Chain A
Amino acid sequence: MTNFINHTLPNGINLYIYPTEKFKTIVYSLFLHQNLKRDLVTKTALLPFVLERGSKKWPNTQKLVVALENLYGADIMSEVTKRGERQILQFILEIVNPLYVRENGELEKKGLEVLKDVLTNPVVENNGFKESFVNREKQILTNIVQGLINDKVSYAVERCVQEMCREEDYGVYRLGRVEDLPNLDSSGLYSYYQELLNSAPIDIFVLGNVDPDNTMALMEEAFNFPRGNIYEMEPTLIYKEVSEPRYVEERLDVNQGKLTLGFRTNTKVTDDDYYPLLLYNGILGAFPHSKLFQNVREKASLAYYASSRLDREKGILLIASGIEIENYQKALEIIQQQMESIKAGDITDDELDSTRVGYINQIKVTEDSPYQIINRYLGGLISGRQETEEETIEQINRVQVEDVVRVAEKIQLDTIYFLRNKE
């Protein structure tokens, strides 16, 4: 993790370079950070959809894709994510390391040229983005947001978060709200994008078989546009007392019931309790050896999947399981028993040790994927807790049963969301 070379470009963009010969590709990844706000979320989310449609030099999707295919199927991808109460736009360029295709070193330069044009040179008409792009992408975004319902497994988890955080900015979907779309026009969207380019915190990662000095020069040239003052990122709301858990039921035409439980952990990544919380999640439900898998699935045969996951940046924990609808009460009881047992310190050495080595394994394999290396470092930048692999492992090893019991006491059930059939 210490291999990142950090450099700030004259316009305030942070550059992180990770030279390595391990991979067949070179990855360029740009992150643009925005505060997650209900009135901004939809227009922020719409931007990458419009930008990916074309640029001045490659003015439509077809021309853009042809250019990338010629570069050995280089790929420009974008991603909209929500990490705590920040919304992040990610633009990725992945190209084959020129060594493998005997290209004379122009491959990176050509790829970067496309990425740069997409980001800084969109197709503009009447002081706005191209109208037809914006209209079509508004439709596309509507379909994606509404289409969330197609995948019942993730739909149930997303709905639980929305219900649980309905009074916080976090309760909004990462791609925004359909009702906002009719009010967005191409010129408003374009000037909003100019604002973001001017003042959003931007991080660029470069990872692969690259020469750092050469890359720095290339990047200074590619991302040399002038910027103003950079805005601050606001902290995420983590601590919240729950007076009474809320039950939400939704009825759809489904065969399987989806039981989802949302909890407040009241623990932040920078808290001392963070690693005990991580271990708590592992003992409870992150692995096949965890209590949920063992008891809901293996012992009671109630489910194919029963697991927990920690949303570390927001400090919430989610349990999800797919069950026969009539087994709602039985499954809920077994899940609650598992949480009670952790609170009572009923954790075997095997459970604790397996969880420890399970997480240590996950941390070590991070190093084998360009995207995971970048993501882990970005996580450190966001949370303000940047640690090396060794430091992380050491802290995981230090957690004892009593630490896990202590965090267990802080965890409060906030919302039970049950997706079930229509009668």
Chain B
Amino acid sequence: MAVISERLLKNDTIQEKVHVATLYPGLEVFVFPKKGYNKKYASFATQFGSIDNSFYVEGNKNLLEVPDGVAHFLEHKLFEGEKGNVFDEFARKGASANAYTNFTMTNYLFSSTDNFEDCFDLLINFVQDPYFTAESVEKEKGIIAQEIRMYEDNPGWRLFFNLLGCLYSVHPVRKDIAGTVESIMDIDEEILYKCYRTFYHPSNMALFVVGDLEPERVIHQVMENLEHRDYQPLGEIKRIYPEEPQAVRDKCVREKMEVYQPLLSLGFKDRNVGFTGRDLFKKELASELVLEMLFGKSTETYNRLYEEGLINDQFGTSFVAEKDYAYTMMGGETPDPDKLYQALLDSITQYIQKGFKEEDFERQRRKMLGEFLRNFNSLEFIANNFLYYHFRENNLFDFVSLLQEMKAEDIHLRLRELFDKDYHSCSIITSNGG
């Protein structure tokens, strides 16, 4: 009764497989056997990230709006149980535990070589047993304030969020994941419980385990745990995002910081959004291929800018796509951000006119396949990425077939829509001159 469905996902190129079970009341459990590894890595994640600050659950009339930084704050507080700090219990078993929050999810994890079943129980239990008190919530504010202060002094982080703040006018992706020192002061235990009850329902969560393990046993262990918990089905969670205009908010933002060289990040707001599943994954791969062919280390542009002294080998590009928003960013340290800004825009214009060579496309495809394969050495990569893609209704293994099926015209199409000059912004950090 407790198992709703079971399936096996395989990939012949990577030569790996993953067992998946959906358990009542809707929890997805993945077990990825990795023979010969000493480490076992488990993560328990919920689709609750920094952008989810306005929501209600089907059947409830009241819209709940919460202070910025709640998802991250909750992540910190969940480690505190009624009997003490959960970190300490993992430590006693020789495991190392951690968690992270990003825009769309919160992920709790541990790795251990011994005592897997005990540690796994601990993980499943602490995530399902919240214990928030007024006193402990107050105390956490000092710690998180220092975490925020640390990022305030980090130029790369400031560069990134300044750019998001330029690209987006109202969407919460423009806000720092941890919130601000001011916003977290409004958080109390009641708010945490309200968020917890909505987003930590098993139907909004997934468990991923990787290591030299028997899938049936792991799945059984989760099943037994859930059976005693008397969960009722939750309605659909409705996340409310403000209507984001297509236009960017600002053209450019500059900040002075204690840096040696200025930093530039150029961003394009992708207006073609609303994709999920394979379409979203395909769009992501196509975008990455475009960026590699335009600015990768084997391109004429990269090498020319490097020779001219405008970029160093930390120059990078990225594309991020969620259902409701997507953006491209590129940049790095540079002695002359304004010159680099213009040079990047010019290269893009020329490239769109010229198009790309078939052989470059084939080579990048090969390279991406090799890099993808290489990542399967890492249990952390496997778990974190499987969950991330799962929450976007993708199967990470599809990477291989999508890459193989990609056609030149997909890339041409993507190239033209990825960079629209009317929808770009830039962020610059300059030295405060010492």
Beta-carbon contact of A304 and B144 below 8 Å: yes
CA–CA, A96 to B111, complex, Å?
26
Beta-carbon contact of A101 and B38 below 8 Å: no
Beta-carbon contact of B298 and A66 below 8 Å: yes
Interfacial chain B residues near A322, Cβ < 8 Å: 146, 149-150
Beta-carbon contact of A302 and B96 below 8 Å: no
Q: Of A30-38, A366-374, A397-405, A410-418, which binds chain B?
A: A366-374
B380 CB to closest chain A CB, in angstroms?
10
A216 CB to closest chain B CB, in angstroms?
24
Q: Interface readout for A342-365 with B: 1 if CB under 8 Å, 0 if not?
A: 000000001001100110110011
Beta-carbon contact of B309 and A139 below 8 Å: yes
Asked if A149 is at the interface (CB within 8 A of a chain B CB), the reply is: yes
CA–CA, A66 to B377, complex, Å?
24
Interfacial chain A residues near B299, Cβ < 8 Å: 62
CA–CA, A73 to B35, complex, Å?
25
> Would A365 and B153 be within 8 Å (CB), given that A100-B15, A303-B143, A304-B143 are in contact?
no
Q: Interface readout for B361-382 with A: 1 if CB under 8 Å, 0 if not?
A: 0011011111101101111000
Asked if B320 is at the interface (CB within 8 A of a chain A CB), the reply is: no
- Candidates B15, B94, B309; contact of A358 at CB < 8 Å: B94
Within 8 A of B (CB), among A23-43: 23-25
Interfacial chain B residues near A62, Cβ < 8 Å: 297-300, 302-303
CA–CA, A159 to B97, complex, Å?
30
Return the chain A residue nearest B292 by Cβ.
A69
Return the chain B residue nearest A67 by Cβ.
B298
> Would A301 and B143 be within 8 Å (CB), given that A73-B371, A74-B370, A289-B87 are in contact?
yes
In this complex, the interface size class of chain A, counting residues with CB under 8 Å from chain B, is 35 or more
Interfacial chain A residues near B272, Cβ < 8 Å: none
Interfacial chain A residues near B432, Cβ < 8 Å: 253
Beta-carbon contact of A353 and B92 below 8 Å: yes
Interfacial chain B residues near A191, Cβ < 8 Å: none
Interfacial chain B residues near A364, Cβ < 8 Å: 38-39, 113-114
Interfacial chain B residues near A246, Cβ < 8 Å: none
Beta-carbon contact of B367 and A361 below 8 Å: no
Within 8 A of A (CB), among B227-280: 257-261
Beta-carbon contact of A96 and B146 below 8 Å: no
CA–CA, A301 to B377, complex, Å?
38
Beta-carbon contact of A303 and B146 below 8 Å: yes
CA–CA, A73 to B112, complex, Å?
31
CA–CA, A288 to B85, complex, Å?
10
Beta-carbon contact of A365 and B111 below 8 Å: yes
Interfacial chain A residues near B364, Cβ < 8 Å: 69
CA–CA, A132 to B38, complex, Å?
48
CA–CA, A144 to B312, complex, Å?
9
B381 CB to closest chain A CB, in angstroms?
11
Q: Interface readout for A81-122 with B: 1 if CB under 8 Å, 0 if not?
A: 000000000000011100011000000000000000000000
Interfacial chain B residues near A298, Cβ < 8 Å: 85, 143
> Would A256 and B112 be within 8 Å (CB), given that A72-B370, A140-B312, A301-B142 are in contact?
no
Beta-carbon contact of A304 and B146 below 8 Å: yes
CA–CA, A22 to B376, complex, Å?
11
Beta-carbon contact of B95 and A143 below 8 Å: no
CA–CA, A361 to B309, complex, Å?
45
Within 8 A of A (CB), among B309-367: 309, 312-313, 333, 363-364, 366-367
Asked if A151 is at the interface (CB within 8 A of a chain B CB), the reply is: yes
Asked if A378 is at the interface (CB within 8 A of a chain B CB), the reply is: no
Asked if B65 is at the interface (CB within 8 A of a chain A CB), the reply is: no
- Candidates B147, B258, B302, B378; contact of A254 at CB < 8 Å: B258
Asked if B61 is at the interface (CB within 8 A of a chain A CB), the reply is: no
Asked if B59 is at the interface (CB within 8 A of a chain A CB), the reply is: no
Within 8 A of A (CB), among B105-153: 111-114, 139-144, 146-147, 149-150, 152-153
Return the chain A residue nearest B433 by Cβ.
A253
Beta-carbon contact of A361 and B114 below 8 Å: yes
Q: Interface readout for A278-322 with B: 1 if CB under 8 Å, 0 if not?
A: 000000000111000000011001111100000000000000001
Return the chain A residue nearest B37 by Cβ.
A368
Beta-carbon contact of A24 and B111 below 8 Å: no
A32 CB to closest chain B CB, in angstroms?
21
CA–CA, A95 to B369, complex, Å?
12
B118 CB to closest chain A CB, in angstroms?
12
Within 8 A of A (CB), among B274-301: 296-300
Beta-carbon contact of A369 and B373 below 8 Å: no
> Would A304 and B370 be within 8 Å (CB), given that A61-B303, A100-B14 are in contact?
no
CA–CA, A343 to B140, complex, Å?
30
Among B143, B146, B369, B371, residue most surrounded by chain A Cβ atoms (within 10 Å): B146
Interfacial chain B residues near A57, Cβ < 8 Å: none
> Would A287 and B111 be within 8 Å (CB), given that A96-B370, A301-B143 are in contact?
no
A291 CB to closest chain B CB, in angstroms?
12
Return the chain B residue nearest A325 by Cβ.
B149
> Would A358 and B142 be within 8 Å (CB), given that A61-B297, A72-B367 are in contact?
no
Beta-carbon contact of A288 and B146 below 8 Å: no
A255 CB to closest chain B CB, in angstroms?
5
Asked if B88 is at the interface (CB within 8 A of a chain A CB), the reply is: yes
Interfacial chain B residues near A256, Cβ < 8 Å: 146, 149-150, 152-153
Return the chain B residue nearest A102 by Cβ.
B13
B263 CB to closest chain A CB, in angstroms?
8
Q: Interface readout for A127-168 with B: 1 if CB under 8 Å, 0 if not?
A: 000001000100110011011111111000000000000000
Beta-carbon contact of A361 and B112 below 8 Å: yes
Asked if A323 is at the interface (CB within 8 A of a chain B CB), the reply is: yes
CA–CA, A25 to B378, complex, Å?
11
Asked if A224 is at the interface (CB within 8 A of a chain B CB), the reply is: no
B5 CB to closest chain A CB, in angstroms?
30
A365 CB to closest chain B CB, in angstroms?
5
Asked if B407 is at the interface (CB within 8 A of a chain A CB), the reply is: no
Asked if A70 is at the interface (CB within 8 A of a chain B CB), the reply is: yes
Return the chain B residue nearest A23 by Cβ.
B377
Asked if A242 is at the interface (CB within 8 A of a chain B CB), the reply is: no
Asked if B154 is at the interface (CB within 8 A of a chain A CB), the reply is: yes
Beta-carbon contact of B258 and A96 below 8 Å: no
CA–CA, A71 to B378, complex, Å?
21
B162 CB to closest chain A CB, in angstroms?
15
Beta-carbon contact of A66 and B363 below 8 Å: yes
B368 CB to closest chain A CB, in angstroms?
7
Asked if B155 is at the interface (CB within 8 A of a chain A CB), the reply is: yes
CA–CA, A410 to B140, complex, Å?
36
Beta-carbon contact of A24 and B377 below 8 Å: yes
Beta-carbon contact of B88 and A289 below 8 Å: yes
CA–CA, A150 to B36, complex, Å?
41
Report, nearest first, the 8 A-B pairs whose CB atoms are least far apart.
Answer: A72-B370, A301-B142, A357-B94, A73-B367, A73-B370, A289-B91, A304-B147, A354-B91
18 additional A-B residue pairs with CB within 8 Å, beyond A96-B373, A367-B38: A69-B298, A73-B371, A100-B13, A136-B307, A149-B259, A149-B260, A256-B149, A287-B91, A288-B91, A289-B91, A297-B143, A301-B140, A304-B150, A324-B149, A354-B92, A361-B94, A361-B95, A361-B114
Interface residues, chain A, with chain B CB atoms under 8 Å away: 21-25, 60-62, 65-66, 69-74, 94-96, 100-101, 132, 136, 139-140, 143-144, 146-153, 252-256, 287-289, 297-298, 301-305, 322-324, 350, 353-354, 357-358, 360-361, 364-365, 367-370
What are 12 sample pairs from A and B whose C-beta atoms fall under 8 A apart? A25-B373, A25-B377, A62-B299, A73-B366, A100-B15, A255-B152, A289-B91, A354-B91, A361-B113, A364-B114, A365-B39, A367-B38
